[in-house]
Amino acid sequence: MPDTLLLIEDEPLLSGELVRHFLREGFEVLAAGTLAEAKRLIVQDDVQPLVVISDMSLPDGNALDLLEAIRSEATGGEWLFLTGYGGVADSVRALRLGAYDFLEKPCELDRLDLVVAGALRSARAQRQLREQAVAENRRYRPAALVGRSEAARSVRELLAKLAPAPFSSLLLTGETGTGKGLAARILHYSGTRREGPLVEVNCAALPHDLLESELFGHEPGAFTGAKGRRRGLMEQAHGGTIFLDEIGELSADLQAKLLTVIEDRRLRRLGGTGQVAIDVQVVAASNRELSERVRTGAFRGDLFHRITVFTLHLPTLRERKEDLDDLVPMFIAEYNAKAGKAVRVIPEQTWPALRAHDWPGNVRELRNVVERCVLLADAQTFASEWLQLRPSDAAQPAASAMTGPQIRLPLDGSLSLDEMERRIVSEALERADHNVTAAARLLGTSRETLRYRVNKYGLKSSD
């Protein structure tokens, strides 16, 4: 389908020449001789030109007035103005209204082609971003949190109330895999900032020595290898939402700096002296009990109270197993589409196995199980033999009878080996009051070995 170009020009000879030229260039060209005709094409006929080339002065007014009048209604497109009488004031106004360029007549076709090509690239990029935003807005509605249980219904209702509210910060809690990331996307794409960016940060996945630069940016020479200026993720989220997953893993110094940024709505890049104003909505998440970490001193109380303007808890899958009836078919349909499968039949013996499982990895674990069974299905029947569900804790008396300190980790693919190791070391340090020697004793390793991992993951220790 050819790209549409709208030409607004009242001189018949020039209009005819430009129409023929751009038709040869492969455009679908529409021409209007007055502002009223152009407005009818754009507003009433819903023509969506990627490029508009307009004379400045037309028989029924100034084309800048038309641009200003329809800018909020039009679906996009770049505007180029051609004029033989334009002055500085008109050119300044044109650029202020978002015009792509302002050219004087007569303009050579070669130069006009270069400008139109640049405007076309810009318009295509804008259209792609708009279409992507529209798709995300449709996808991430409160109804995207599927389930017929009372727990799921309550979360949907709360998401529907919170999304349009202009809140400054919010905390999502719940076990890993319960859908905190989905809830954050629903809050953004259904909220007042849906036209802005959504920037997602996993605070547990980035090393401490890189996290400050990633969050707040840096200036040239701030550290070895910092050759240029870099806008941090907080700055990139300006006008939108930043999702700080696993915020409880931030170190004390980063917690203090984050609190200052949220309070002052300004940040200072690493190695910089000036401050940058930002306007972001903060959605934080943690699968750990932050109030308990505040009590033990592992998390700042003032930051905790600042991010808990609202708190939304995501229930575990074992608390809402009736939702399996909706979730399993939904995931089957998803992976049918992705893998080109046609699985439609779920054997009756599958459901008791699914309902008997405790789902320690929650919805993420269920998604992985369904994906495996769909991909390995030979025909239209769900491959139940590939469920491979671990027996529940209740079915393992030997395991439940274990004594002494224990650390539980999900084995559903949600954590990498490094993330598991980091959590084990972090938990041992907390239980040992951040004493490396005592923590090493708990883990049955040497102090030097543990010290290496403490430094590797940027963890806090008493020495």
Q: CA 195, CA 9: separation in Å to the nearest integer?
A: 33
Q: CA 229, CA 125: separation in Å to the nearest integer?
A: 25
One-letter amino acid identity for 186? I
Fold of 4-136: Rossmann fold (3.40.50)
Q: CA 417, CA 195: separation in Å to the nearest integer?
A: 37
Q: CA 191, CA 403: separation in Å to the nearest integer?
A: 48
One-letter amino acid identity for 155? V
Looking at 3.30.1040, 1.10.10, 3.30.70, 1.20.120, the CATH number of the domain 416-457 comes to 1.10.10
Q: Is the dihedral of CA 27, 32, 36, 41 positive or negative?
A: negative
Closest C-alpha among 355, 353, 329, 354 to residue 343: 329
Q: Which helix or strand (DSSP H or E) is residue 29 part of?
A: strand 28-32
pLDDT tens digits, 28-56 = 999 999 999 998 988 888 888 999 999 88
Q: How does pLDDT run along the chain (463 residues), one tens digit per residue?
A: 578 999 999 999 999 999 999 999 899 999 999 999 998 988 888 888 999 999 888 889 888 888 888 876 655 688 998 887 656 677 778 777 888 888 888 888 899 999 999 999 988 888 877 777 666 667 788 999 999 999 999 999 999 999 999 999 999 999 999 999 999 999 999 998 988 899 999 998 888 778 888 999 888 877 777 777 888 999 999 999 999 999 998 999 999 999 999 999 999 988 888 889 999 999 999 998 999 899 989 999 999 999 999 999 999 999 999 999 999 999 999 999 999 999 999 999 999 999 999 999 999 999 999 999 999 998 899 999 899 886 554 344 444 444 556 677 776 666 677 778 888 888 888 888 788 888 888 887 888 788 888 888 888 776 6
Q: What order do you get walking across the sheet with 4-8 strand by strand?
A: 28-32, 4-8, 51-55, 78-83, 101-104
User: What CATH number belongs to 317-395?
Assistant: 1.10.8.60
Q: Do the domains at 4-136 and 416-457 have one common CATH topology?
A: no
- Kindly report the number of other CB atoms within 10 A of residue 440's CB atom: 22
End-to-end CA distance of the chain: 67
Domain boundaries, the chain: 4-136, 148-313, 317-395, 416-457
- Name the residue with tokens 């290496």: 452
Q: CA 459, CA 453: separation in Å to the nearest integer?
A: 8
Residue 458 falls in which region: left (phi positive, over 0), alpha (psi -120 to 50) or beta = left
User: What CATH number belongs to 148-313?
Assistant: 3.40.50.300
Q: Residue 345 in 3-state DSSP? A: strand
pLDDT tens digits, 297-346 = 999 999 999 999 999 999 999 999 999 999 999 999 999 999 999 999 99
Q: What is the pTM of this model?
A: 0.65
